[in-house]
Structure 1
């Protein structure tokens, strides 16, 4: 019999990430209970989670004896100080991606977590996207052979610069830290650390001197002869394929995007009928050769499973299993982001050290 104990969770931040992703996914895991939420939107929190106590200050949440795990879902610049405060108080910590802004901050948090023997993880939920799960299974099956070209796009049409911190010229803001963190993490899961990085990034919306953060990037990671191309932009009205992957024996072409974020925004929850299931029109097209046989068809998408992240966090805390995403993996993403920024600033390729 599985003697599961309860994991009491304190959530700092109830903006888009906290309300759309963190709180609903935490609530979907049996044995996890949201006991405290730090937010200025008390009425919204009480409407959504009436059993959770709303507090005004992060320090009050972190000090609570009713919190075992602190989830940091605030602006990127506050990730490191809040995570440090929580670890110092003896709490396990989950940090919304990106992990930190700088490598030094991330390394300090990892050392503190190891010293205190606490769990520290980064919320890279798009490892459990329907399309990425399907692509990863396809690559690992060997149908495509050794991969020579991998392209991943995260394009949107958002012509107006909004007043959100993510779109202002602030430390840790911009598309590279935001969507880039997802694309980089997926690439590192598949291929590991690159030989070198080359990146072009910029501001394409509004006046040139608008002071907004980067809303475009084109990042190439080199692995010998293999090229991994990661691209995101904010002025793409008609998006092309999400993934274009070519190997020595096959190709994988995928349009559309995982449906889980849209479902969460509609108020749907994991476990509902059809959760994470893509429309058949978005299933990937796959072609491969095996001997004298050439095959072209559809790769049926695996269901997406964002809830798997917090299920595995629960199992790590209660049953001593491995974390779904380690802090060192989160820090590896920050390393690539910083290399990409250096590459753009110096207009050259940057070697992975």
Structure 2
């Protein structure tokens, strides 16, 4: 923690790529922790760049390329459109920087493997944020999983209605990427809890906007068979066609069922229902950022390994390929 950081020690100099919610929460931590110093940033929106500069008092770079090659930057934090993640991370690692990204690491597993190799060669940190693993729901599942015995079926559904769908990067085919890659946390929850996947199948549908570069809704469903015997269904949808949002995680075991709806959980066994306390979602970006600083200043292990994020990306990439095969047929 920062209170153990020696007086006079050199702080980690940080450059942030992005100006949205995640970038702002990171900037707050970096500025409030004496182990780090926010020195610059880059944003692709003129209005948001001006607001970020006013809020945090740092000067923006003219391009993300300028930021990753800035000799005053030790750590590059990437919190921008998914399409740019791989290219920015590659350039930053080649420039000798530590790299932290919001998931996904890249839009393809092959690019992710390339970045892993670059990080290993350079000896620099390459960390992908997976705050879903720190959150209250995931921790509650971990704490109660043994109570339901052998888990044989699970279903995780996140649906977000949004009407009208905005013409922004989160609804842009290339900038957002395949939905289950972009929303990688849905798969990483399962691989973290249940390990390796034996078989993958998937389906995906997009509802087009007038501008063909954008969609007004999407629905992706993955069917995962795990080596442990679990059969899992992962559903992700958003946009104009959905009139009811939901976030439900259900796990069926031979001795009980766990159901989480939003931030409320239940353990059901026979005729008994027990409420499960779920921790808050607040402060998770702060936890992740502090974990990065702990690692860089003391060597304390991070809560998630790069290989775990890369494996979840591999599974998501296989889902994308399965959908591509259906389209080609």
Name the counterpart of 1:333.
312
Structure 2 counterparts to residues 98-113 of structure 1, below 5 A: 98-113=104-119
Question: CA, structure 1 residues 286+241, in 2 after alignment: closer, same or farther (shift >3 Å)?
Answer: farther
TM-score w.r.t. structure 1 length?
0.80
Gaps of 5+ in 2: none
For residues 28 and 325 of structure 1, the distance between their equivalents in structure 2, rounded to whole angstroms, comes to 24
Gaps of 5+ in 1: 257-281, 349-353
Structure 2 counterparts to residues 37-186 of structure 1, below 5 A: 37-39=41-43, 40=46, 41-50=48-57, 52-139=58-145, 142-170=146-174, 172-179=176-183, 181-186=184-189
For residues 126 and 300 of structure 2, the distance between their equivalents in structure 1, rounded to whole angstroms, comes to 13
**1:300 and 2:304 equivalent?**
no
Structure 2 counterparts to residues 334-349 of structure 1, below 5 A: 334-347=313-326
Question: Does the Cα contact within 8 Å between 2:178 and 2:320 map onto a contact in 1?
Answer: no
Structure 2 counterparts to residues 254-273 of structure 1, below 5 A: 254-256=260-262
Question: CA, structure 1 residues 239+286, in 2 after alignment: closer, same or farther (shift >3 Å)?
Answer: farther
The one-character-per-residue Cα deviations of 1:272-320 (angstroms, maximum 9, x if unpaired) are xxxxxxxxxx42111237xxxx742100112335122112111111111
Q: 1:247 aligns with which of 227, 241, 253?
A: 253
Q: 1:222 aligns with which of 221, 225, 237?
A: 225
Q: 1:188 aligns with which of 165, 169, 191?
A: 191
For residues 147 and 163 of structure 1, the distance between their equivalents in structure 2, rounded to whole angstroms, comes to 41
Aligned length: 313
**1:231 and 2:235 equivalent?**
yes
CA-CA distance at 1:323 after TM superposition? 2.6
Q: Which moved more, 1:193-202 or 1:60-69?
A: 60-69
Question: Does the Cα contact within 8 Å between 1:86 and 1:93 map onto a contact in 2?
Answer: yes
CA-CA distance at 1:166 after TM superposition? 2.4
Question: Does the Cα contact within 8 Å between 2:158 and 2:247 map onto a contact in 1?
Answer: no
Please provide the CA RMSD for this pair: 2.5
Q: Give the secondary structure class of the aligned counterpart of 1:287.
A: strand
CA-CA distance at 1:108 after TM superposition? 1.5
